[in-house]
Amino acid sequence: MSLSKKIRFKHIKRNLIFRFDAGTSRGVLKNKVVYWIQAFEEKKSEIIGWGEAAPLVKLSVDDRSDFEDVLEDYFKKLESISWDMNEEAILKQVSDLIPFELPSIRFGVETALLDLKNGGKKKILENVFFDESKPIPINGLIWMGDEKFMKRQIDEKLKEGFTCIKMKIGAIDFQKELELLQYIRSIYSSEEITLRVDANGAFSPKEALGKLELLQQYSLHSIEQPIAKGQIAEMKSLCSKTNLPIALDEELIGVLKKGDLLDQIRPQFIILKPSLLGGIKETREWISEAVKREIGWWMTSALESNIGLNAICQLTSQYNPKLPQGLGTGKLYHNNLNSPLTVLNGQIQYDSKVIWEYPV
């Protein structure tokens, strides 16, 4: 049985700069602010557990102007208690001490403590991704932009060996987006390339069914969040009427009664972003509720740096996923940390020969 310990916490703020203007239906992203969390024992400060709190602007429940102050306030509370340094106890204590309304802080603290528990080696959980460098299949992400920019991304992803492509839609002319999907299908069949689209809630309920019918002709795997969250009856109707599988994404944010939501809407898939859902414990609960209902799922990063992405990959690896996951965001930034996370031929892998860059 592990002994209880007092833990100190600090953070480093980093403004990550995108390599390009990353377009979504909610606007263009140029940068992303993240907070790297350090957890350590006072007398063993050379061993540091690292986590990441990274709220998404206009989307995370804890996207707030006083975020850094709130983070520091919680550090003081967390330092005043003793921690049982085993996985189950850590996850329960974090859940008890940090409110559900601060999901990215929960995730960052969970990760930092679990890393510290495992010796500060960036190992968060027991998993074959870290221990055996077993790769995880991922999709290639196509960001919104003009037609030329999107076509160039598609060509690059296909050349890089991706067999699953996810294209963000809903920002440019819909007909142009259909033409881009047709471009892919003119080269690759659905047996060769899996196609996903993500509308980020861009369609109105009135137009959504008609657009889904048009999208069906391209043999798509699924569409993420066709209409904005919070329209439960409309989303339920779409899921029951369309032959194009629907994956809930933003719909899950801030939801406590997981089973109730899934029973109401009955989606074909759910998308899991631990930073937005409240961390490892909450994400595992979503998976459990989905599996009970035979609802498929996959994990997606929420534009974290490689510290957060590493933790999500390790959590994902525990489930031995067969579906491609949304974990290919490590190369988005000019100033991300160099890390062992390596993307090759449509898979992400932990290359233990590569040394982590130290966060400063």
Residues with a catalytic annotation lie at 168, 273
Q: Smallest Cα–Cα separation from 165: which of 175, 177, 176, 153? A: 153
Q: Read off the tokens for 97.
A: 């001490």
Q: How many residues does the chain have?
A: 360
Instruction: Provide the b/e sequence for 189-228 (b: ≥16 CB within 10 Å).
Output: eeeebbbbbbbbbbbeeeebbebbeebeebebbbbbbbbb
Q: Residue 3: CB partners within 8 Å, gap ≥ 6?
A: 85
State the Cα–Cα distance between residues 34 and 335, nearest whole angstrom: 12
Q: Smallest Cα–Cα separation from 196: which of 313, 302, 113, 300? A: 300
Q: Which residues pair with 12 in a beta bridge?
A: 36
Q: Residue 222: CB partners within 8 Å, gap ≥ 6?
A: 196, 197, 244, 245, 246, 247, 268, 269
Q: Residue 67: CB partners within 8 Å, gap ≥ 6?
A: 35, 55
The H helix count followed by the E strand count for the chain is 12, 15
Is the Cα dihedral 337, 124, 33, 135 positive or negative?
Answer: positive
Alpha helix ranges (H) inside 144-241: 147-159, 174-187, 205-216, 232-241
**How many other β-carbons are positioned within 10 Å of the β-carbon of residue 91?**
19
Show the 3-state SS of 297-320.
EEEECCCCCHHHHHHHHHHHHCCC
State the Cα–Cα distance between residues 188 and 168, nearest whole angstrom: 19
